[in-house]
Structures are given as C-alpha cells and as structure tokens.
Amino acid sequence: MNDAIKGKCWQCGTDLETGDYGRETNCRKCGKPTRVCRNCRWYAPARPNQCQEPMAEPVMEKEKPNFCGFFEPTSEVMMGEDATSADAMRQAAENLFKH
C-alpha cells in the first residue's frame, strides 16, 4: 500500500496524494476541485449542513473549494451517489405537479 495516497476524488474515484488537496488544486483525471466538502471525511448528506462536524461554518456549494479548517480527506467515494438520489427526489416532486 502506498502511504502517499490519502484519498480518492469525489467525482471520478482517482487516488489522490497529500499534495492533491490544495485550495486551488484539481483532480489530475477529471479536473474537479479536490479540497471540497464532497471530498471530506466529515461530509454527510443526511446531516444538517451536510456535515458531521458541528462547529464547521456552513458551506453552500459542496463541490467548490472552501477554507474549512476541519477538512480531512476521505477515501470513501460517493461519485454522485447523493446527487443521484437528490435528482430522483427532485424529479418525483416535479412529477407531482404535472398534469
């Protein structure tokens, strides 16, 4: 196992190393930002503010870089898992109002 690998990209699952988590750093494979809520071990879509850390400041855009002091890389990859369920819920709500 490579100790330099600290996590995976939230979008594509590519292995990320310690140096891949800068504020303005993007994934080498898909180009998405890496220091984002979706790539943090505290990210929890079902929790208030979508974060398990109660002291963290609210971050509105979970897929954009931020300055959260609680950020810790995660190796768990959701790769759109919660986005898919959110899309499904949105579609179900829209279907309620169709004639």
Residue 79 Cα distances to 26, 58, 67, 93, 99, angstroms: 16, 22, 22, 23, 34
How many domains is the chain partitioned into structurally?
A: 1
pLDDT at 81: 47
Least Cα distance to 13 among 66, 78, 72, 64 occurs for 78
**Structural domain boundaries enclosing 18:** 5-96
Distance CA 34, CA 7 (A): 10
Which carries the bigger pLDDT value, residue 43 or residue 3?
Answer: 43
* pLDDT, tens digit, 9 for 90 and up, residues 34-75: 999 999 999 998 888 899 998 999 999 999 999 999 999 988
Q: Is the pLDDT of residue 33 over 60?
A: yes
Q: Is the pLDDT of residue 99 over 90?
A: no
pLDDT at 86: 60
CB-CB contact of 10 with 36 (8 Å): yes
pLDDT at 75: 80
> Token pair of 73, please?
């890389």
pLDDT at 6: 84
- The pLDDT > 90 percentage for the chain reads 58
CB-CB contact of 9 with 27 (8 Å): yes
